[in-house]
């Protein structure tokens, strides 16, 4: 089942998502000179800043609701910024565009929506085909932390946990709770995410439920997939400052090149 995102809640609860990711992808985009292909663009958290930097970017996502919000944000930008943004509703595994790109990005773990090795390889081959010779792919995923998994198995499986609260513009707040389950034979994470919205007086005004299923990958899995898809010069870092991967809880930031 595909993820069920609510654009307002996504923007409220994931403004930065992974520390340094916006600046990291902006830096790679400026270095590439564009144009940029973004898969899993969502509501434009990365798209808009890259366009503001003067680069053409083609944003692709499968969720029409998220793209509707992106279109609204793009329309609110100055005309020169808005005209740099092209938006396509499509599947990252199979989208076909009539342009080649200097850089392709898949931010905020969106690659993990490809649940099977076949899906993952199809996505990477699609990216490879859309890159110019010497073009770069960059994406980030979470490292499967054994410590985190241990808190979601056995008697802790399907236990609801309050994760965070977020103030809303009207003086109220949103409470975010999660329950997670790991399918280790198939390397899948299944989660239910509940959002409870309260007004300024503390009255519950709305509740939302998101269903989320993601694959999880280890560095060796990622390298193997990239090599199969034809990429080379694969580099896996622990953050967007290029720190070496050393800890179980590190983020995996991946870069690879399409050869000539």
For residue 33, the enclosing domain spans 15-143+218-258
174 plus 230 within the same structural domain: no
Of the candidates 260, 229, 245, 1, the residue with the CA atom closest to the CA atom of residue 125: 229
Q: What is the pLDDT of residue 71?
A: 98
111 plus 159 within the same structural domain: no
Q: What is the pLDDT of residue 4?
A: 67
User: Could you tell me the pTM of the whole model?
Assistant: 0.94
235 plus 106 within the same structural domain: yes
Q: What is the pLDDT of residue 15?
A: 66
CATH of the domain at 93: 3.40.50.150
109 plus 160 within the same structural domain: no
In angstroms, the CA 93 to CA 71 distance is 22
Q: What is the pLDDT of residue 5?
A: 82
169 plus 200 within the same structural domain: yes
**DSSP conformational letter for 35:** -
234 plus 114 within the same structural domain: yes
Question: Within 10 A of 216 (CB to CB), how many other CB atoms are there?
Answer: 20
2 belongs to a structural domain = no
- Which parts of the chain sit beneath pLDDT 70? 1-4, 15-17, 156
Of the candidates 172, 210, 216, 218, the residue with the CA atom closest to the CA atom of residue 194: 210
């Amino acid at each position: 089942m595909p993820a069920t995102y609510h654009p307002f809640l996504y923007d409220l609860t994931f403004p930065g998502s992974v520390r340094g990711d916006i600046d990291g992808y902006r830096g790679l985009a400026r270095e590439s000179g564009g144009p940029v292909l973004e898969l899993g663009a969502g509501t434009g958290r990365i798209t808009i800043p890259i366009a503001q930097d003067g680069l053409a970017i083609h944003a692709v996502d499968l969720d029409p609701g998220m793209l509707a919000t992106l279109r609204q944000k793009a329309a609110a930008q100055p005309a020169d910024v808005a005209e740099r943004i092209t938006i396509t509703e499509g599947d990252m595994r199979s989208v076909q565009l009539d342009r080649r790109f200097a850089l392709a990005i898949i931010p905020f773990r969106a690659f993990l929506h490809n649940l099977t090795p076949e899906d993952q390889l199809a996505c990477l081959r699609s990216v490879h085909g859309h890159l110019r010779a010497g073009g770069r792919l960059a994406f980030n995923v979470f490292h499967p932390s054994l410590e985190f998994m241990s808190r979601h198995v056995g008697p802790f499986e399907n236990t609801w946990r309050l994760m965070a609260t977020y103030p809303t513009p009207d003086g109220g707040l949103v409470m975010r709770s999660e329950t997670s389950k790991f399918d280790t034979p198939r390397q899948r994470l299944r989660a239910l995410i509940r959002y409870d919205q309260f007004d300024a007086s503390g009255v519950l005004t709305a509740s939302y439920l998101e269903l989320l299923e993601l694959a999880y990958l280890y560095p060796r899995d990622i390298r193997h997939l990239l090599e199969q898809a034809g990429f080379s010069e694969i580099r896996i870092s622990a953050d967007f400052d290029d720190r070496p991967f050393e800890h179980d809880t590190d983020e995996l930031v991946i870069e690879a090149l399409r050869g000539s």
